[in-house]
């Protein structure tokens, strides 16, 4: 009784055992009300537990799909929000310049394929390219702040110059006082950046929030970026503010590519203005 025949015999024995015991249980349940009640109760409990376990396992394997659906939903919500923001701005000051600044932004979700955060000139590679409507110069954000700007695009991928790049700067403002300046990474700590050339009279205090200003056609306004952690007066003329960034660039996974639908119009206008000047 060795090897395969022994294994087959054992399996057959187990099956015979289960069949006979099941038959006995059926007979017992059919011949006694108490036993039937308890046995059926036990079977139902085991069934419920099994269903629960199966449901848990199925839920676990559908997490990726759910995640994608959530990202999609988030994207739609952001799109709707930008519509409301645009509408609200036009209602407040219909004839002013504010009308075109918030613009009408559209968002495309993307996953990061590759990224660096320890160099002086960091970059990211995302899994959406020209086929998804991505073009050079579009902004890349997350709900925690600005990530970078699209620099090159292929059919299915885009190369993003990260905000963690000493040559990159974005326009940011103090939420409390609306004073704005250039926010730039200084190339040392990936969690800190410098908001420079802020007026001495801005009333900035440590802990104040900083958000995007919207003074460009790349990023929408009011994306929270970070909080002030240090205030440095420069030559008694203006302030440099050290900012603790909300965005942790070392754990990025999902981003949104943001497109200003009025960008071409804005840029054309800017070019015309420069030509006349």
Partner 1 sequence: MKDSWGRILFYVILLVIQVVLSGYVNVGPYIYLCCLPLLVIYLPLNQDTGVSMIIAFICGLVVDILCDGIMGLNAAASVALAATRKPLYAACFSKDNLERAVIPTIQEAGVLRHVNFILVTLAVYFIVYICLDSVGMESLVTTLLRFVLSCAANLALILALDYSMFNSRR
> Which of 37, 201 has the CB closer to partner 1?
37
What gap in Å lies between CA 235 and CA 144, rounded to an integer? Answer: 32
Question: How near is the Cβ of 72 to partner 1 at its closest, in Å?
Answer: 51
Which residue(s) pair with 124 in the sheet?
115, 160
Does 23 bind partner 1 (CB under 8 A)? Our answer is yes
- The nearer residue to partner 1, 16 or 92, going by C-beta atoms, is 16
Hey, what are 258's tokens?
């943001």
The answer to whether residue 17 forms part of the interface with partner 1 (CB under 8 A) is yes
Per rule CB under 8 A, is residue 33 in the interface with partner 1?
Answer: no
Q: Which stretch binds partner 1 (CB under 8 A): 34-42, 60-68, 124-132, 233-241?
A: 34-42
Structure tokens, 229: 């952690």
What single DSSP character describes residue 135?
A: -
Any residues with CB less than 8 A from the CB of 121 and at least 6 apart, and which? 161, 165, 166, 167
**Of residues 16 and 70, the one with the C-beta less far from partner 1:** 16
Q: Is 218 left (phi over 0), alpha (psi -120 to 50) or beta?
A: alpha
Q: Does 54 bind partner 1 (CB under 8 A)?
A: no
Residue 119 sits in the site that holds partner 1 (CB under 8 A): no
Q: For residues 160 and 127, what is the distance between their CA atoms, to the nearest angstrom?
A: 11
Cβ neighbours of 210 (radius 10 Å)? 28
* 46 makes contact with partner 1 (CB under 8 A): no
Minimum CB–partner distance for residue 29 and partner 1 (Å): 8
- CA neighbours closer than 13 Å in the CB half-sphere of residue 57: 6
| 96 near partner 1, rule: CB under 8 A | no
Query: Nearest approach, Cβ of 4 to partner 1 (angstroms)?
Result: 16
Looking at beta carbons only, is 21 or 76 nearer to partner 1?
21
Give the residues lining the site for partner 1 (CB under 8 A). 9, 12-13, 16-17, 20-21, 23-28, 30-32, 34-35, 38-39
């Amino acid at each position: 009784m060795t090897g395969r025949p022994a294994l087959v015999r054992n399996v057959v024995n187990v099956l015979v055992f289960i069949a006979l015991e099941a038959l006995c249980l059926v007979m017992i349940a059919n011949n006694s009300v108490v036993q039937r009640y308890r046995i059926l109760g036990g079977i139902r409990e085991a069934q419920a537990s099994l269903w629960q376990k199966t449901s848990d396992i199925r839920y676990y394997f559908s997490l990726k799909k759910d995640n994608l659906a959530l990202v999609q939903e988030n994207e739609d919500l952001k799109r709707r929000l930008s519509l409301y923001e645009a509408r609200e701005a036009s209602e407040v000051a219909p004839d002013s310049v504010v009308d075109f600044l918030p613009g009408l932004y559209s968002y495309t979700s993307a996953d990061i394929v590759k990224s660096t955060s320890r160099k002086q000139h960091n970059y990211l590679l995302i899994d959406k390219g020209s086929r998804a409507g991505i073009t050079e110069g579009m902004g890349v954000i997350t709900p925690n702040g600005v990530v970078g700007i699209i620099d090159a695009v292929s059919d299915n991928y885009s190369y993003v110059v990260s905000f963690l790049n000493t040559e990159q700067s974005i326009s940011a403002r103090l939420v409390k006082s609306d004073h704005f300046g250039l926010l730039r990474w200084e190339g040392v700590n990936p969690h800190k950046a410098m908001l420079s050339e802020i007026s001495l009279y801005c009333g900035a205090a440590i802990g104040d929030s900083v958000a995007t200003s919207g003074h460009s056609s790349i990023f929408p306004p009011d994306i929270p970026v970070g909080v002030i952690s240090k205030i440095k007066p420069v030559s008694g003329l203006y302030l440099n503010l050290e900012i603790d960034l909300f965005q942790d660039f070392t754990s990025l996974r999902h981003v949104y590519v943001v497109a200003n639908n009025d960008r071409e119009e804005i840029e054309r206008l800017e070019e015309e203005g420069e030509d006349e000047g």
